[in-house]
Every structure is written in C-alpha cells, then in structure tokens.
Amino acid sequence: MNDVLVLDRAATLAALDPHRLMSAVSDALVAVAQDRVSAPARTAAFAPNGLLGAMPGYVPGLGLAAKLVSVFRDPDRPGRSSHRGVVVLFAPEDGSPLAVLDAEPITAWRTAASATHSALALAAPGPVVVVGTGAQARAQVSLLAVVRPGVPVTVAGRDPEAARATAALHPEGQAAPNIEGAVRQAATVYCCTGATRPVIRRAWLAPGTHVSSVGGSHGPELDAETVHDADLFTEWPGAATTPPPSGAHELQDLPTERRITLLGSVLAGEAPGRHSPEALTVFKSTGHAALDVAAAHVVHATVTGRMGR
C-alpha cells in the first residue's frame, strides 16, 4: 500500500472544505435518487451499549469508499452517543487504497451538509433553531456559519452552558433557555440529538415549519404526530423500507400508500419540494454511504491538491 494517505481527526476535519463538501453531497444525493449509486443497506454487529456498522459505497465521479463506524451510547450522559471509526477511500479503477480517514468529522459534516441542503430546498424564511449540543449539533452550527453566516441561529439543549458554547460557533448564534420555546418560534428546526425518545412535539411546530432530523440512532427523535402530518423527505428509499440501524425508527410501519420523496430528486428538479406555505416538511436522515464517499472525496482532493499530487 504505497502512498496511502492517513489522516487523524484534526487533519480530516481541516480538509473538509465546506463549499466543496456541499457540492459533493448534493451530487451524491442526486446520484442516489437517480439510482446511480452502488451501496448496500448498512449492516451492523451489536454490542451491549452500541453497534459497529459497515457502509461501503460507490458513487460515479466521486469514488469508492467504505466506512466502519461504532455508534455507542454514553452511559454518563443520557441522550448522547459517539460515532467513531474510519473511512477508507479506494481508487475505483483498480481498487487500490488511497486514504484512511477519521470517520467522526466525516460523519458529522456530511450529515450536516445533507440537512442543510434539505433546509435550503424546503424551508421557508424565518428563525433557525438547532436542537442539540453534541458533536452533530456543533458540526451543523459550524457549517451554517460558513454557508449562511448572516442568518441568525438559536441553539437549544438541556445543558445551558453547552448551548451557549455551541451557539458561539456561529457569528449570529444565540442560546435559548429551553427547547420548546425555541422550536415554537422556528421556521427551520435542525434536530441533532442522540435521543431514544422524541425531543420535539407536533404541537410545538407552527404551520410551514421545516424539520431536518438527523439524530435518533437509538430511537425516534420525532413524535408520531409530526411524522403523520408532514410531507416526508429522505436520502434513500431504505430509510422507510429497512429496519434500524439502516432505516429510520420514525419511518417504520408507514402505510404503503404514504409517499416519501428523495431529497436528491428535489435537488435535481425531478420532484416537487414544498407544495404550500403552510405544509409541514420533514427531512429524516439515516445517513448513507454515498455521503461518506462524497466527504472522503473532498478530503482527499483537498489534501492532495495542497500536496501538488
């Protein structure tokens, strides 16, 4: 394995150029929607406090990669979980390994990018709220600070000090005293938690609200009423048709006639997004290997470009 790039967490994060990442994630979402991606549903081995998932994928124009990621609850902090592992990028022409990257920043930032794309495509103008103060919430606020620096962001969580620290990552960030009050005023809600039960309620959501829900690896992040009333969008069909951990807890056992639109189809202009100003829209993310490929491609291209390769 000659010339294999090996990056730790800090170096991987430093190479995740946000603008390149947004473009690559958009390409990956469109490729998923157009059935141009080769990626099986995530498989996992379960341990007492978490799981180890395997996510290989190939995206034309972006590359071939596989992620091994552990998702474990933090017993000392209920509602928090860790995502640790590696992403290995391969040359799609001959299968030779190109890079070994830290999976934590790749997972957090590619997820934030997909959630941001959903809001840009589906949300109405108005207050933006991020629910959560962990690694995913910090990545979401940090990405918004780059791509939407002039739009104020309110951070809401159970820990006021952590909410203030997370809000400080955005030039127009502020912390809310409680989750319910912030969500009731929001036009866009980014739900970024390690919840095992719903953290927002349908009654809190005003007409026309958009919710990007990217947490809930261990249980539902949204209540059943929100899912029932919303127009639903996902990264891939398996979010509703496969069981967790590949599918979403909230989308299990939906009626067969229930329509779910792929976000990539909206981005490509092949499917409608919001159909009315009053509609409640939900993007439910489960993560997808194509997004890891996109992020790994960005890291590799950024670093090798700096190195003059």
Among 194-198, 203-207, 271-275, 304-308, the range with the most confident prediction by mean pLDDT is: 203-207
Beta bridge partners of 129: 154, 189
* pLDDT-based confidence at residue 77 (cuts at 50, 70, 90): low
pLDDT digits (tens, 9 = 90+) for 245-300: 889 999 998 998 899 999 999 999 999 999 999 999 999 999 999 999 999 999 99
**CB burial of residue 275 (10 Å; 0-12, 13-18, 19+):** exposed
H or E segment to which residue 287 belongs: none
Q: Which CATH architecture has domain 108-284?
A: 3-Layer(aba) Sandwich (3.40)
pTM of the model: 0.93
For the chain, how big is the Rg over CA atoms in Å?
A: 18
Q: Which of 208, 210, 28, 75 is nearest to 129 (CA)?
A: 210
CA distances from 143 to 109, 126, 157 (A): 8, 18, 18
User: What does the DSSP 8-state code read for residue 250?
Assistant: G
Peptide bond just before 245 cis, omega within 30 deg: yes
Q: Where are the domains of the chain?
A: 5-106+289-304, 108-284
pLDDT digits (tens, 9 = 90+) for 81-131: 677 899 999 999 999 999 999 999 999 999 999 999 999 999 999 999 999
Q: Which CATH architecture has domain 5-106+289-304?
A: 2-Layer Sandwich (3.30)
Q: What is the mean pLDDT of residues 202-215?
A: 97
Beta bridge partners of 214: none
At residue 90, the pLDDT reads 98
Assess whether the region 5-106+289-304 and the region 108-284 belong to the same CATH fold. no
